Every structure is written in structure tokens, then in C-alpha cells.
Amino acid sequence: MAKNWTYKTPGIPDELFIQSDEVPGPTKEEIRVITISKARLNEGNVVVDVGCGTGGLTVEAALQVGAKGKVYAIDEDEAAIKLTNGNLEKFGVRGNVSVTRGKAPEALLSLPMADAFLIGGGGVSLRTILQAAFFKLKPNGRIVINAILLETATVAISELKALGFKDIDITHISVAKGKQINSGTMMMARNPITIVSATKP
């Protein structure tokens, strides 16, 4: 049972996560909700979070798959591993998550077959990470890539096509949040994110 989030639905407020200036994340609340939805998770699923950062998506995925499921969180950065572990503890989901310091794609090779891959990091290795994810996904498994850069999105689309993924979906999300100022509510734009998702045949 989650200690700090007692709801079935995703969308933990950003400020509930332990955060650090050295580590990116958490992925913003509304982006997390759509990312988890695109991953189409069920209880008992196996999920891999590549580039877990603060652990925002790791925690949300762990809550979805429950005690019978498993999340494998990977990051090359030691500070990200510590922060993710802290957030897993805070939200009471330490038990069904394995956190590993390692670099993708190499760190993916020893993992079991998965129902879904969440990809929030990868940089220049994105193509080979997608190839490794294809290899490790079960049939009908889902892949979701969160791209801040246009180049990341275009590489993801072309590689998913080349690998034979089906139902490739590209969703560009712009969120603005209301901020109270003296004269009323001003909408403040956040960075747009492109979410690329697909199904393994």
C-alpha cells in the first residue's frame, strides 16, 4: 500500500517527490499520467524504466503493477539511483522495484522479458536502446518514449518503424498551469513533450 498516494489513478503531485538539483525529474505530473496510460499497464506486469532519474515514473509504474508485478529501474547516474530509492521508500513501493546503476543498452541485456518499456533517457544510444527493448519485450508489449528534443522523437519514430513496431502513436503535449497573480489567474506554459509509443507485434 502506498504510504503517500492512496489513489488508484496516477498523477502524484510533483512536490510530493524528494527532488535534487543534480538529477532531472520527476517527469511532470500530467506527462506522467499520459505516459503511464500509453504504457497500458496491468497488475502483475513487468516494466523497465530506462533512465529513472528522480524515480517519478518508476513510482507510478510500481503502483500500477502492484505487489505481483515488478519494475526494473536503471540509471547511469549514482545520484539518480539514490534519489529513486528514496522516493520508492517514501511511496512504500520498495518491495516490487529493482534499481540498478548501469548504462543502457548494456544494462538491459540481463533483464527478463517485459510487458512495457518506459524510455526517458538514452541520448546518443537511443537507437540501440530501442533495439534492446524490442528484443526484451513480450509480444504485444508496449514501448513509450518521452522526448524533450525533436531529434529524440524523430529518431524514435524511424527506429520503431525499422524494427517493425505496430500502432506507432505520436502525441505532443503542451501543459499550462494556472498561477495566481494580483489581477487573476495567469496560465504559465511548461516545456512541451513528445510522447512516442508503440506495440511490439
Residues that bind ligand SAH (CB under 6 A): 23-27, 51-57, 74-77, 80, 103-104, 120-123, 125
At closest approach, how far in Å is the CB of 31 from ligand SAH?
9
* Interhelix angle 56-65/78-90, nearest 10 degrees: 40
Say if strands 70-75 and 184-189 run parallel, antiparallel, or are unpaired: unpaired
Tell me if 97 sits within 8 A of 62, measured CB to CB: yes
Q: What is the DSSP letter of 12?
A: -
The alpha carbon dihedral of 60, 148, 189, 79 has a sign of positive
- Taking the least distance from each CB to ligand SAH, the nearer of 31 and 181 is 31
Residue 9 vs 164, nearer CB to ligand SAH: 9
Least Å from the CB of residue 138 to ligand SAH:
22
Nearer to ligand SAH, 30 or 76 (CB): 76
- The smaller minimum CB distance to ligand SAH, of residues 172 and 187, is found at 172
Least distance (Å) between residue 112 CB and ligand SAH: 18
18 half-sphere exposure, CB direction, 13 A CA radius: 15
Question: Min. distance of Cβ 93 from ligand SAH in angstroms?
Answer: 14
> What contacts 86, CB < 8 A, 6 or more positions away?
18, 55
Q: Smaller CB distance to ligand SAH: residue 20 or 96?
A: 20
Write down the least CB distance from residue 61 to ligand SAH, Å. 10
Element containing residue 78 per DSSP (H, E): helix 78-90
Nearest residue to ligand SAH, using CB?
121
